[in-house]
Amino acid sequence: METRPVVRLIACTPEAETVVAAAAKLCYSRGTVDELLEGLTPEKVESFLEMLAEIGHESPIEHASFTFAIEGVSRSLLAQITRHRIASYSVQSQRYVKERDFDYIVPPEIAAVPQAKALFAEAMEAAGEAYDKIAALLQEKHRQEFLAQGKGEKEAKRLAEKKAIEDARFVLPNACDTKMVVTMNARSLYNFFRHRLCNRAQWEIREVALQMLRLCLEKAPVLFSKAGPPCFAGSCPEGKMSCGRAGEMRAFYQALRGGKA
Q: Catalytic: 196?
A: yes
Residue closest to 120 by CA, chosen among 176, 160, 52, 179: 176
* Of 196, 200, 206, 245, catalytic: 196
Q: Which residue(s) pair with 66 in the sheet?
A: 12, 184
* Spatial contact of 92 and 179, defined as CB atoms under 8 Å apart: yes
The span from the first CA to the last CA of the chain, in angstroms, equals: 39
Q: What's the rounded Cα separation, in Å, for the pair 105 and 12? A: 28
Q: How many CB atoms lie within 10 A of CB 206?
A: 16
Q: What's the rounded Cα separation, in Å, for the pair 254 and 229? A: 12
CA atoms within 13 A on the CB side of 172: 26
Distance (Å) of CA 216 to CA 65, 140, 179, 209, 227: 10, 49, 20, 10, 10
- Which residues does the annotation mark as catalytic? 196
